[in-house]
Every structure is written in C-alpha cells, then in structure tokens.
C-alpha cells in the first residue's frame, strides 16, 4: 500500500460501506456530505464514522476535517414542555436527515470520486 499512489484496493471495507451515504457537494470544492444510516438518532455513530473517514484521509497525507454537523436536535430547538422524543418525531416526519460535512483534499478525494463512480 503506497501512500502516494493510491488505488481502489487501498480503500478499507468500512469506507466502502459508507460510499452509498457519501455525496460530493455541488457548491463547495473538496467538501463531502456523509449522511447517517438512520434519518434521526444515532448521532454518535455518525460522528464516529466521520472521524474514521477523516483519519483514513490523513493516513494518505490528505487534509481532512469535519466542517459542519447537521443533527436534528440543532434544527428543532426545544420548546417549553416539549420532550426530546416529540422533537425527534417532528424532525423525522418533516424529512430531516442527520449529516456531517467533511472537507477532504487530494489524493483521497480523487480516489473517493472514482470509487463512487464504480459503485
């Protein structure tokens, strides 16, 4: 496994499992959006997956960082007497989806683009 010449075989299985939920941003360069497996809930799982993706990119000398987190509890603030379960249900019914924005530069960004085209 070369650190400068990356091939698709260098992508580990846990990254390949994320590919269907990973989308390249149309407006910002080198920005990827990772969606959660579940629309609402399991935020810590999504954060862990984003951290794994960032660490994978850094292993290949790419600049990578989490730039933004979009979780349901930020988009639906608590109102007086409203429980978290009610808020989460409201977010789910309105179609909100948890996501994390990650900035990843080349060579890993190029490799992820190729992997998305093949999958």
- Give the CA angle between residues 87, 90, 93 to the nearest 5°: 150
What are the Cα distances from residue 30, in Å, to 2, 74, 104? 22, 25, 5
Which of the two residues, 32 and 87, has the higher pLDDT score? 32
Buried b (16+ CB within 10 A) or exposed e, 64-90: beeeeebbbeeebeeeeeeeeeebbeb
- State how beta strands 64-70 and 22-24 pair: unpaired
Q: Which residues contact 41 (CB under 8 A, 6 or more apart)?
A: 72, 88, 98
Predicted pLDDT of residue 40: 84
> Could you say which DSSP state residue 32 is in?
E
User: What does the pLDDT look like over 31-75, one tens digit per residue?
Assistant: 999 999 988 888 999 999 999 999 999 999 999 999 999 998 888
Is this model's pTM higher than 0.85 or not?
Answer: yes
**Domain-by-domain residue ranges, the chain?**
11-118
Higher pLDDT, 61 or 9: 61
Residue 81 has pLDDT above 70, yes or no: yes
What's the confidence (pLDDT) of residue 33? 96
Q: Report the alpha-carbon distance of residue 109 to residue 78 in Å, rounded.
A: 37
């Amino acid at each position: 496994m070369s650190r400068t010449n990356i091939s698709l075989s260098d992508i580990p299985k846990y990254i390949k499992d994320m590919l269907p939920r990973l989308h390249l941003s149309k407006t910002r360069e080198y920005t990827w959006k990772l969606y959660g497996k579940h629309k609402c809930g399991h935020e810590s799982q999504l954060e862990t997956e984003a951290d794994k993706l960032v660490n994978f990119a850094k292993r290949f000398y790419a600049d990578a960082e989490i730039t933004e987190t979009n979780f349901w509890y930020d988009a639906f603030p608590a109102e007086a007497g409203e429980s978290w379960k009610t808020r989460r249900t409201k977010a789910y019914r309105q179609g909100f989806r948890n996501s994390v924005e990650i900035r990843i530069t080349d060579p890993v960004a190029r490799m992820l683009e190729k992997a998305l085209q093949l999958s």
